Amino acid sequence: MKRIFLTAFALLSLLNSAVKADEVPNPTDDKKVVKHLDLSEVTINASRVNAKMKDLPQKVEVVTRRMIEATPAVDMGELLKKTSGVDIIQYPGISSAISMRGFAPSTSNKYNVILIDGRPAGTTNIATIDQSNVERVEILKGPFSAQYGSSAMAGVINIVTKESTQDITGTASVSYGSFEKYTGSLSVGGALSESMDFDVSYNYQKQGKDYKIGKKNFFGKSDAETILDPTTYGERMEHSQFERQNASARLGFILDENWKINVNQSVFIANNVETPGSFWHVYGMNSKDMNKYTTSADVLGKIGNHNLSLSPFHSREESTSFNSKYGDTESIHKNYGFILQDAFKVGDHSFAFGIDNKTDVFESNKWNTSGDVIAPSTPKYKNVSTGVFAQINTKTLDDKLNIAIGARYDLVKLKLEADNLLGNEASSEEYNVFTQNVGVKYELLEGLAVHSSWGNAFYAPDAFQKAGLYTSAYGMTKGNPNLKNEQSNTFDVGFEYKNYGKGFNFDFTYFKTHHKNMIVKYSVDPDGIAYNGDEYKTFKNANFADMDGIEIEASYDFGSLTDYNYSLKLYANYTHLIDATVTQRKKQTDGTYKNIEGQMRYVRDNNANFGIEFDNLNGFSTRLNARYIGHRYEDNWYTYYPVRTELTEKVLRHPVSMIFDYSASYTFKEKFTLGFSVANLLDENYTEKDGYNMPGRSITGKFAYKF
């Protein structure tokens, strides 16, 4: 590792001396540069009241546009795992989901809310979201159901896209790299007239060759080989090619100085994406078509000191999997609704009130290997929620004390459609939920503050889990009308020291969560409470979990020593789980029940990003990032692995991994940019999901033109 750092510094020094201009503008006079360096001044849109980051008592992380450009990531999931403190579950074939603070990531994205410009993203697969038109990403950690309703138990991811309002400018770029990976991107935006502005972007990616798995392990290769299988090292992940396209457009109509309408459209298309399954292709080498279409609008107005907004949205996501072994399946997810909000200030006090209406429709279809229509896994169902929310952020004691209070009432309706193939009838359920949170931040000295927050949150069960009664290829399933919401209570406390002038940024946070009423699926045998004497599966609130840990963010910028004539920053983002224990209620052979404790699955005990980045603020920048991922437990699904019996189950304790990324770019004549990046610099063999090994070392060159 020492050699890597020395090489990076040597390259940095050489290129910097070659490109540094005679006169470097003082970045304290450049608002864009200051915003890049001093994140405490960034306005966090997801706060509802548009508070600055420095005024929020909750834990917030921000991924800036410059960080996006410096990170060798092919999709949003890759970006977030390399830049923020999140856990990820990721598969080859454009599929990933994240979570935080001990909540297990899942492809259904149960415990996070994903937003684009404050509106639902319309997808549970964060890998489908384009990066080319993203201005920044806001990561709010902790319970936010009081602002965003169901699923906001671990946190909120808000992706903020570009809104260009000045002269028309644009960027076109092309790149080529390992595994025959091509990328072409175009982004243009600006004012068409005094009454109209726009943004359009297009991004094309193609990986024309199966990627190679890494050959090494930075830590404990012998331990790693036990889990990763020695035959995987340096081999190709067969059937891992893909092609994808993202396009988005925004058209803004300026009605007068107080009113504006933005109309947004985005498209994601990825056909014939190869899905290899695990390295051993247990489920065959298959493929899938993925398409997503999103339409939304924002009506923004100002009356006095009231900032009004109405944001209707609609999306449709389709995914069809072609499986030669089990037959083909299709899933359709529709998402539509609106957000109506009024935000205003009275002195130093900020208020936001609104109505949030969202409908999610899920439909699945299935065909056998002969092409005949057969019963799907679940019937078509609809989850409808209408929430009324209020958020108050107030400052007092000479702006030293910040208090944030939020509350929300949700009316949830679950509707299940009749399906002749499954034999279920139409049915529905309805209930209400009240959630709240509160946060306090007090500045002890200039830049030094303590902060604490508490909140509860919930996850609403799906309609078929409460009201279903159907028979599929997996047997009979009966909903449980008494099924409760999953619920959580989270408390955190910490302190921060932020002094932009002296280059320091530090935050320490301790969090503790109790997660109860966890929903599990289980079988009821004929000797139990059987339905018409037959065995069936149903759902119950059986498990609970307790998680606590610490989060540390730290950075120091040596550029502060020279009034920021440049930026040379050392940084670290570290999450350590002290405990993540699930308690399962299991039936014993004598008919009694016993609580059995076990470790949370798919959650790493340690997760860190750290490194060094340099920007001469005159065209040249470089970044060396290391990502450390700690142990995690997973179910032992494959017979290759040695059987382990801890926790009374066959589980795996995955080894740790360290993945390095390096990037550098130079812009000359203020228009042309040359850059290159090396992802997985040390060629690490690692997984984000057991059996699905990630790509090894990948080198990419890039050229961009700004006009």
Task: Measure the CA–CA gap between 433 and 167, rounded to whole angstroms.
Answer: 47
Give the separation between CA 369 and CA 564, rounded to whole angstroms: 64
Calculate mean pLDDT across residues 416-444.
Answer: 92
Is 304's pLDDT higher than 50? yes
* Tokens 């014993």, residue located: 588
Number of CB atoms found within 10 A of residue 225's CB: 16
CA distance 491 to 477: 37
What's residue 102's pLDDT? Answer: 94
Average pLDDT, integer, range 71-87: 93
- Looking at the DSSP bridge assignments, the partners of residue 403 are 394, 440
- pLDDT per position as a tens digit, 681-695: 999 999 999 999 999
Q: What is the mean pLDDT of the chain?
A: 89
Name the DSSP class of 480: -
Instruction: Give pLDDT, residue 169.
Output: 96
Asked which of 28-32, 253-257, 368-372 is least confident by mean pLDDT, the reply is: 28-32
Residue 424: pLDDT band with limits 50, 70, 90: confident
Please state, in angstroms and as integers, the Cα–Cα distance from residue 681 to each residue in 8, 78, 502, 626, following that order: 12, 15, 32, 9
Sign of CA dihedral 125, 128, 131, 135: negative
* pLDDT recorded at residue 336: 98
pLDDT at residue 534 is higher than 50: yes
| 320: pLDDT strictly greater than 70 | yes
Q: Which two tokens stand for residue 355?
A: 């109505």
Burial zone of 433 (CB within 10 Å; 0-12 exposed, 13-18 middle, 19+ buried):
buried
Of the ranges 46-50, 284-288, 330-334, which is most confident?
A: 330-334
Rounded mean pLDDT, 398-410? 96
Residue 645 pLDDT greater than 70, yes or no: no
Does pLDDT of 132 surpass 50? yes
Higher pLDDT: 181 or 522? It is 181
* Residue 8: per-residue pLDDT: 42
Residue labelled with tokens 């040390």: 682
pLDDT surpassing 80 at residue 569: yes
User: Average pLDDT in the 260-283 region?
Assistant: 94
**Does 528 score more than 60 pLDDT?**
no
Q: Are 196 and 253 in contact (CB under 8 A)?
A: yes
Beta bridge partners of 523: 537
Give the residue from 81, 200, 214 showing the smallest Cα distance to 684.
214
Q: Which residues of 63-99 are buried (b: 16+ CB within 10 A; e: fewer)?
A: bbbbbbbbbbbbbbbbbbbbbbbbbbbbbbbbbbbbb
- pLDDT number for residue 2: 43
H helix count then E strand count, the chain? 7, 35
**In the predicted model, is pLDDT for residue 19 greater than 60?**
no
Is 15's pLDDT higher than 50?
A: no
Q: Partners of 298 in the beta sheet? A: 262
Q: Identify the pLDDT of residue 475.
A: 81
The two three-digit tokens of residue 663, written as one number: 């990037």
pLDDT at 20 over 60: no
pLDDT confidence bin for 37, thresholds 50/70/90:
low
Residue 187 pLDDT exceeds 60: yes
The DSSP line for 577-630 is: EEEEEEEEEEE-TTS-EEEEEEEPBT--SEEEEEEEEEE-SSSEEEEEEEEEE-
370: tokens are 């002969």
Q: Is the pLDDT of residue 136 over 50?
A: yes
Specify the fold of 2-706. Maltoporin; Chain A (2.40.170)
Rounded CA Rg of the chain: 26
Write down the domain spans for the chain: 2-706
**Nearest by Cα to 111 from 99, 122, 127, 128:** 99
Tokens 């009454």 — which residue?
195
pLDDT of res. 639? 53
pLDDT at 10 over 60: no
Average pLDDT over residues 229-238: 95
Using CA of residue 347, residue 401, residue 390, residue 316, what is the dihedral sign? positive
Is 50 exceeded by the pLDDT of residue 665?
Answer: yes
Q: Residue range 464-489: average pLDDT?
A: 87
pLDDT score for 9: 41
E strands of 105-180, at which residues? Answer: 112-116, 119-120, 134-141, 155-161, 169-177
Distance CA 89, CA 691 (A): 12
Tens digit of each residue's pLDDT (9 = 90 or more) over 148-161: 999 999 999 999 99
pLDDT of residue 47: 84
Lowest average pLDDT, out of 523-537, 545-559, 590-604, goes to: 523-537
Give the model confidence (pLDDT) of 618-633 as tens digits: 999 999 999 999 999 9
What DSSP assignment string belongs to 615-641? E-SSSEEEEEEEEEE--EEEE---TTS
| Structural contact between residues 131 and 203, judged by C-beta atoms closer than 8 angstroms | yes
DSSP tag of 211:
P
238 has a pLDDT exceeding 50: yes
Angle at 473 between CA 470 and CA 474, to 5 degrees: 80
Q: In this structure, what token pair is assigned to residue 114?
A: 């994903």
